[in-house]
Structure 1
Amino acid sequence: MQLPLPKFSIILLLLFLSLQVSAQDFQGQAIYQTKTSMDMSGWGGDQMSEQRKKQIADRMKSMLEKTYVLNFNRSESTYKEEEKLAAPGSNNSRWGGMMSSFTGGPQYKNVKEFLILQEQEFFGKQFLVKDSLSSLDWKLGSETKQIGQYTCFKATTIKPVDDMDFMSMRRRNRGNDEKKEGEEKADSTKKESDDPFDELEVPKFVVVTAWYTPQIPVSTGPGEYHGLPGLILEVTADKTVMLCTKIVMNPQEREAIDRPEKGDIVTREEYNQIMKDKIAEMREMYGGRGGRRN
């Protein structure tokens, strides 16, 4: 029997609303393994004992190799480090606590609002770093590769680097400072800088290569990366690689994707200045103890 038009219209409306709810309720979870390589050459590595090298490598490994969880829907996502229990007898809690002040905390992105929020604890104080998502000028390529069960396409861009990006810091190239044979040598009594950051530099830009899959039609990815027609499953940027190792679509137990609100709201530029001021304060404090000469 044919339904009366009013009742049939109600059924169509309910069906349409249920489809809308289903689309809005879409959610996924992606696990990323990240690894950052660090070149120890030029840092006195040749003069270190093998035992000392191993100690440094063990300490750095927990910072340079991490697992992150990305929970996402069509417009929002959270990206945070997977929680791990400290190993019994571990003595690296102080080291880890100090380094966490210089590396990123839990992150929230909204690609519709072009908003990024990052929770950050710095020497016991809670901040909420708020900024607009950067617009990345992606160049889409035709090259493909398989990551798990997903066909991925290659995209590249050039990204400006934050001047306090610890993972991109490197020893400054002093090659251009060396005098050529026959030229006057520099005064050997000249005082070297007391600032260890004078020996470090951060590149202004890095080339980023990403692999995204249109099979998951969301414009997001790990960290601050976004803006491609599909979920980004792999990123190579400077010395860091982020690789997706697992994807669960519409998991039964879903993580809440909440916009963070706790902490003093600052911009990235303001937060970087806070870090620089604290570093200068620590240098002054420890320098004074060491009886630094003027």
Structure 2
Amino acid sequence: MNILILGATGQVGFELLRALSPLGSLIAPTRAQLDLSSPDAVAGVLRAARPALIVNAAAWTAVDAAEAQREAAFRLNAELPAQLACFAAIAGIPVIHYSSDYVYPGDGDAPWREDSPTGPLSVYGQSKLAGDEAVMASGAEHLIFRTSWVYSARGSNFMKTMLRLGQERDSLKVVNDQIGAPTPARLIAEVTALAVYRQRLGRGIEGLYHLAPHGETSWHGFACEIFRRAAESGMALKLTPAQVAAIPGSDYPTPAQRPGNSRLCVDKLEADLGIDLPHWEPQLVLTLGECFA
């Protein structure tokens, strides 16, 4: 079957190319080949690809820039998913879409569940929520994975930034009052592939699910673990965890407000898909290993 993957050059998209390759013929236009900001261009690719499954890993991920570029963020995060889901509904095919912990208000300390009330704090969060709602309202068979703190061995992300700064600086300040679970793009793709395989066996899942590793940490805790594990792997760093100062988010103002609580309950996904999601720390070790291979 033809599987159309949008956003294949991003972190999650790259991992999807590897994970989904045994399950069908992949059609993955690059940014140069497809202008996702153009509804007409997207429509043309949908007609030509004749997909049996759409996997949408394309997204506007520049959280702060979205505050000033609302229209562009909503095009990729809301209008594009709506267009894909509408096509899927008419064609009678499923669509898989990826969402974010930023759709929640970020207060309290209890993990968010799929039925928790939403309340995004930023334009980015608002655009992601609008995309989710459009997919759910489309009538298409759909699977939405809401995840948190995505990173990988390639592209731009928090882990890669920390590795660079760890080689350049002898001190660093990192926020310690925003809590979540760092999620490797590889894990997202692996779970997606399992869900697609189960779907082909007639035992698929449908609807909204949280997808993240077990455990929780702050950005400060994540940074310290990155430096500790990288040093153990032989990477030469100027920084040690002891040289990373913990600061409140109020000391590091950004254009977009970040949620303090990004914890996601994954009970529903584990039960319905029959899996045990791993803890975030071993997943970091695996991802770092890809950097040093």
Normalising by structure 2, report the TM-score: 0.28
- Structure with greater proportional strand content: 1
Normalising by structure 1, report the TM-score: 0.28
- Structure with greater proportional helix content: 2
